[in-house]
Amino acid sequence: TQLLEQSPQFLSIQEGENLTVYCNSSSVFSSLQWYRQEPGEGPVLLVTVVTGGEVKKLKRLTFQFGDARKDSSLHITAAQPGDTGLYLCAGGSAGNMLTFGGGTRLMVKP
Amino acid sequence: DSGVTQTPKHLITATGQRVTLRCSPRSGDLSVYWYQQSLDQGLQFLIQYYNGEERAKGNILERFSAQQFPDLHSELNLSSLELGDSALYFCASSGRGLAGVYEQFFGPGTRLTVL
């Protein structure tokens, strides 16, 4: 069974601070997705990383896939209240199945 | 907007009842997935359909069933409902993306409340 562990589970920071969320597994994934979910809504796909060592930037968000494709990180620079939400990582494997991490609940205070 | 639609948005019912949740995938997507998300919990995979056929099963209770119709929309049937079935139910769809790239696109969810 493939498992993805996210850390931290909860993060409360002030506007303007930087933060990093981690997603770790003992399994290799073909791809790694990051989603953001707001209360009562469906997860929204932020990015997909495929190649080991790959780095993708989306405005203030930087996503990295580990060299061995077992782990990933999401770094947010100068967090804003609009970044508040639940961040989920998901590892993709054959059959188009996703294994989801438990999520990191981020709150950015103004 | 992901292109995945779900109805109804909210559903309130009583214990012992049966409900049906509906999902229409993105245009062209053949795969549909159902997930359950309880309060402050992660996403629990229930079941996957591909082009009308069941492809994979997760932690789906025997009281729950699903199907995918020829027009590719899917329905999740929940019966003999219990209080613990109260949750958000999400549908996701995926298409034939790049090899090795497995992305799913989620609908807005149905919030089920069992009283």
pLDDT in tens, B93-109: 988 666 667 789 999 99
Task: Provide the pLDDT for residue B77.
Answer: 98
pLDDT band at A19 (very low <50, low <70, confident <90, very high): very high
> How far does B94 lie from chain A, in Å, by closest CA?
8
Contacts of B101 in chain A (CB under 8 A): 30-31, 48, 50, 92
> How far does B82 lie from chain A, in Å, by closest CA?
21
State chain B's maximal CA–CA distance in angstroms: 45
The answer to whether B103 contacts A33, with C-beta atoms less than 8 Å apart, is yes
The answer to whether B94 contacts A88, with C-beta atoms less than 8 Å apart, is no
Residues A103 and A88 sit within 8 Å (Cβ to Cβ)? yes
Task: Provide the pLDDT for residue B39.
Answer: 77
Q: Over pLDDT 70: what percentage of chain B?
A: 95
Task: Provide the pLDDT for residue A2.
Answer: 67
Task: Provide the pLDDT for residue A94.
Answer: 75
Residues A89 and A4 sit within 8 Å (Cβ to Cβ)? yes
Least confident of A19-23, B41-45, B64-68, B106-110: B41-45
Task: Provide the pLDDT for residue B95.
Answer: 81
- In this predicted model, which residue has the larger pLDDT, B114 or B99? B114
CA distances B18 to A32, A37, A57, B85, B90, Å, are 36, 28, 45, 11, 18
Task: Provide the pLDDT for residue B42.
Answer: 80
Strand partners, B78: B19, B64
Task: Provide the pLDDT for residue A93.
Answer: 79
DSSP 8-state code for residue B108? -
Average pLDDT, chain B: 92
- B40: pLDDT strictly greater than 70: no
Asked if the C-beta of A45 comes within 8 angstroms of chain B's C-beta atoms, the answer is yes
- Residue pLDDT, tens place only, A61-81: 999 999 999 999 999 999 999
How many residues in chain A? 110
CA distances B59 to A50, B43, B48, B78, B111, Å, are 27, 11, 11, 14, 19
Task: Provide the pLDDT for residue B66.
Answer: 97
Amino acid sitting at position A27? S
Mean pLDDT of B79-94: 95
Coil, helix or strand at residue B90: strand
Residues A25 and A91 sit within 8 Å (Cβ to Cβ)? yes
